C-alpha cells in the first residue's frame, strides 16, 4: 500500500522568529532558509512581508534563493497584506500565500470586533483575492482549537470552495488535549463535504507542553501537513518541534505508517545553526537535539549501553547528525563505565587496582559533578594532578577591534628546559583564537579545543569571568579552568591548564 507523506511546513523564520529576542537579520534568515532546504523541509514560511520592510526583503531574497521547497509568506485577511505577501513570494519556484483569520468567538468578538458572518465573508474574499495572484493558497483558522466546530467546519468548507488548497487548523494557544485535538481533525474530515480537495494542516503551540503530541494525534486522524519549528521555538512557549515530529515518525514507522522528506541527518546541524543565530539556547534535556539527548550518566544505563546501545537508546545518534552517544562519568556511574574508560585511555590494570580506583572515583564524584579523563588519569597516577606545571604563562596580551586584525603575544617558560622563556605572536579570528595560536606555537602540542564556555562568576562590569574548556589530545579529553577579570587572560589560563595536563599525561606514558 502506498504510504502517505507528511508535508513539513517549517515556520522557524516566521512564528519561530516571534520568540522574544529571537529575531534574525536578512543574512541570518537567508542562511537558515538554505539549511531548511537542505534539511528537506517541504514548505518554508519565510516571514510576514507586510510586517516590516526588512521582513519583506528577507522573504523576497529567500524566495529567489530557495529552489526545492515552497516559500510561503503570511498575510492577514486584508488585500494589502496579501498583495505584499505575493510581491515577496512571487519570485519563488513554488510560491504560497498563507492567509489567516481567527474563527473563535473570543477572537472574533474581542480582538477583531466582528460577527461570525463578517468573518466568513472576509475569509472567502481574502482567499479569492489570494487565488487571483497565486495558485497555492493556505488558509489558517486562527484559534481553531477554541472555535465552535459548526462554525469552523463552515469556514473550512467555504475557503476550500474559494480556492484554498491547504486548510490549517491551529491550536493557537496550546489549549487542546491530544485525543481532543485528534478528534477535531477527524470530525472536520467527516463533516466538511469538500475536504478531500485540500490538505489538512495543523499548527500547534506548546503552552501546556503538548504541541508535538497534538500534532502527532492530528496525523493519526488524517492531517497531512504539520507546521513546526526548529528547536520548537516560537511565540510564548513555542511551536511543535520539527525534530521531535520527524523522529517520532521515523522511530515508530508502523505506528504512524506515513513517511516524510526530512533528511534527519541534518537535524543537529540545523538546530545548532538556529540556536546560534537566534541566541535561543536549547535546553540540555530537549528531546533529539539537547546536549544530554544521547548522554548517559547512570551506571546501570551505561552498562546497558556498553553491552548493547539499543538498551537505552531508541534512536541512533548518527540518524540525527550527532556523531556518537556519550557516557558521562559522575557519581551515578558504575564499574563497567569507569573500567571501560580506563581501558580506552590505554591503561591495563589488575582487578585489585581497578577496585581501588573505583573507590577513589566514587569519593571524588561526590565532590565533583563530572569526572573527566584527566581526573581519571590523576586517580590512576595519584600525583598527576599535583605535578609542577611544565609550561607557565608569564605574560599575555591581545589586541582586537573593528578595524584591527586580532593579534596576541604570549610569553611562556618551559620548565622542562630549565625555565627557558619563549615568546611568540599570532593572529586569529578573535583575541582568544590569536592567543591560543600563539600558545600552540610555543608548546607545539597536538591539542584540539572541543568545548569552550565562558560565564561571569560575579556581577557588574568588573565581574570575574570563568572559562571552562575541554581539549582533545591523543583521543583523550583534558579540561582546563581559568578565572580573571580579563576574559582573554582567563581563556589563556584555562588553555594552559589543559595543555599542562596533556603534557603530564604524555610524560607518564
Binding residues for Mn(2+): 15, 203, 205, 239
Q: Which of 35, 70, 168, 217 binds ligand KIV (CB under 6 A)?
A: 168
In the bound state with ligand KIV, the residue whose beta carbon lies nearer, of 11 and 58, is 11
Q: Does 77 bind ligand ACO (CB under 6 A)?
A: yes
DSSP, residue by residue, 101-147 = EE-SHHIIIIIS---HHHHHHHHHHHHHHHHHH-S-EEEEEETGGGS
**Residue 280 vs 320, nearer CB to ligand ACO:** 280
Torsion of CA 151, 153, 154, 157, to 10 degrees: 160
CA torsion sign for 331, 333, 334, 335 is: negative
* Contact map string, positions 95 to 114, toward ligand KIV, x by CB under 6 A: -----x--------------
CA 492 to chain centre: 29
Give DSSP secondary structure letters for 53-107.
HHHHHHHHHHHHH-SSSEEEEEEESSHHHHHHHHHHHTTSSSEEEEEEEE-SHHI
Asked if 397 is part of the footprint of ligand ACO (rule: CB under 6 A), the reply reads no
CB nearer to ligand ACO: give 155 or 434.
Answer: 155
Q: Which stretch binds ligand KIV (CB under 6 A): 166-174, 217-225, 443-451, 488-496?
A: 166-174
Angle among Cα 299, 304, 308 to the nearest 5 degrees reads: 150
Residue nearest to ligand KIV (CB): 170
Contact indicator for 399, 428 with CB cutoff of 8 Å: no
DSSP letter for each residue of 467-494 = EEEEEEETTEEEEEEEEESSHHHHHHHH
**Per CB under 6 A, 203 contacts ligand KIV:** yes
Write the CB contacts of 466 (distance below 8 Å, at least 6 apart in sequence). 454, 455, 456, 457, 481, 482, 483, 490
Contact partner, 140, from ligand ACO, ligand KIV, none, Cβ < 5-8 Å per class: ligand KIV
Q: Find out whether 299 and 341 touch, Cβ atoms under 8 Å.
A: no
Min. distance of Cβ 122 from ligand ACO in angstroms?
7
| Contact stretch for ligand ACO (CB under 6 A) within 74-82, 280-288, 387-395, 468-476 | 74-82
- Give the cell for residue 67: 529552489
Shortest spacing between CB 15 and ligand KIV, in angstroms: 5
Helices in 279-404 by DSSP H: which ranges? 299-307, 335-344, 351-367, 373-381
Stretch that binds ligand KIV, among 113-121, 168-176, 304-312, 450-458 (CB under 6 A): 168-176
Residue 107 beta carbon to ligand KIV: minimum distance, rounded to whole angstroms: 10
203 binds, among ligand KIV, ligand ACO, none (CB under 5 to 8 A by kind): ligand KIV
* Residue 375, contacted partner among ligand KIV, ligand ACO, none, CB below 5-8 A by kind: none
Per-residue contact flags (x/-) with ligand ACO for residues 167 to 186, judged by CB under 6 A: -----x--------------
Q: Which chain residues interact with ligand KIV by CB under 6 A?
A: 15, 100, 140, 142, 168, 170, 172, 203, 205
Amino acid at each position: 500500500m502506498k504510504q502517505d507523506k507528511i508535508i513539513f511546513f517549517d515556520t522557524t523564520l516566521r512564528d519561530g522568529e516571534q520568540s522574544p529576542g529571537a529575531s534574525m537579520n536578512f543574512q541570518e534568515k537567508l542562511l537558515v532558509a538554505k539549511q531548511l532546504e537542505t534539511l528537506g523541509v517541504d514548505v518554508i514560511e519565510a516571514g510576514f512581508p507586510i510586517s516590516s520592510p526588512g521582513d519583506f526583503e528577507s522573504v523576497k531574497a529567500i524566495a529567489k534563493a530557495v529552489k526545492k521547497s515552497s516559500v510561503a509568506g503570511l498575510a492577514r485577511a486584508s488585500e494589502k497584506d496579501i498583495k505584499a505577501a505575493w510581491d515577496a513570494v512571487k519570485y519563488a519556484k513554488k510560491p504560497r500565500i498563507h492567509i489567516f483569520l481567527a474563527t473563535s468567538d473570543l477572537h472574533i468578538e474581542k480582538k477583531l470586533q466582528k460577527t461570525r458572518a463578517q468573518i466568513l465573508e472576509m475569509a472567502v474574499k481574502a482567499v479569492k483575492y489570494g487565488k487571483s495572484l497565486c495558485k497555492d493558497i493556505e488558509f489558517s483558522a486562527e484559534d481553531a482549537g477554541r472555535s465552535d466546530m459548526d462554525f469552523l467546519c463552515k469556514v473550512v468548507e467555504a475557503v476550500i470552495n474559494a480556492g484554498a488548497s491547504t486548510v490549517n487548523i491551529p491550536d493557537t494557544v496550546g489549549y487542546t488535549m491530544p485525543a481532543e485535538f485528534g478528534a477535531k481533525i477527524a470530525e472536520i474530515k467527516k463533516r466538511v463535504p469538500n475536504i478531500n480537495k485540500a490538505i489538512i494542516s495543523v499548527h500547534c503551540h506548546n503552552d501546556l507542553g503538548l504541541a508535538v503530541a497534538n500534532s502527532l494525534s492530528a496525523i493519526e486522524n488524517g492531517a497531512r501537513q504539520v507546521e513546526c519549528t526548529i528547536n520548537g521555538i516560537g511565540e510564548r512557549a513555542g511551536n511543535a518541534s520539527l525534530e521531535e515530529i520527524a523522529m517520532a515518525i521515523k522511530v515508530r514507522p508502523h505506528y504512524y505508517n506515513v513517511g516524510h522528506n526530512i533528511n534527519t541527518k541534518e537535524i543537529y546541524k540545523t538546530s545548532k545553526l538556529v540556536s546560534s543565530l537566534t541566541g535561543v539556547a536549547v535546553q540540555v534535556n530537549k528531546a533529539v537535539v539537547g546536549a544530554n539527548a544521547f548522554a548517559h550518566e547512570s551506571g546501570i544505563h551505561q552498562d546497558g549501553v556498553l553491552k548493547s546501545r539499543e538498551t537505552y537508546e531508541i534512536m541512533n545518534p548518527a540518524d540525527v547528525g550527532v556523531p556518537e552517544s556519550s557516557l558521562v562519568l559522575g557519581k551515578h556511574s558504575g564499574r563497567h563505565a569507569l573500567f571501560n574508560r580506563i581501558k580506552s585511555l590505554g591503561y591495563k590494570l589488575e582487578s585489585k587496582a581497578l577496585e581501588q580506583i573505583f573507590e577513589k572515583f566514587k569519593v571524588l564524584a561526590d565532590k565533583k559533578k563530572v569526572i573527566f579523563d584527566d581526573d581519571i588519569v590523576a586517580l590512576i597516577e595519584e600525583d598527576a594532578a599535583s605535578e609542577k606545571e611544565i609550561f607557565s604563562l608569564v605574560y599575555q596580551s591581545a589586541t582586537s577591534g573593528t578595524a584591527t586584525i586580532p593579534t596576541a603575544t604570549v610569553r611562556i617558560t618551559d620548565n622542562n628546559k630549565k625555565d627557558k622563556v619563549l615568546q611568540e605572536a599570532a593572529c586569529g579570528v578573535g583575541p582568544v583564537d590569536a592567543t591560543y595560536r600563539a600558545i600552540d606555537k610555543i608548546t607545539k602540542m597536538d591539542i584540539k579545543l572541543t568545548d569552550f564556555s565562558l560565564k561571569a562568576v560575579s556581577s557588574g562590569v568588573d565581574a570575574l569571568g570563568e572559562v571552562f574548556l575541554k581539549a582533545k589530545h591523543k583521543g583523550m579529553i583534558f579540561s582546563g579552568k581559568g578565572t580573571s577579570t580579563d576574559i582573554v587572560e582567563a581563556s589563556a589560563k584555562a588553555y594552559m591548564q589543559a595543555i599542562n595536563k596533556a603534557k603530564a599525561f604524555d610524560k607518564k606514558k
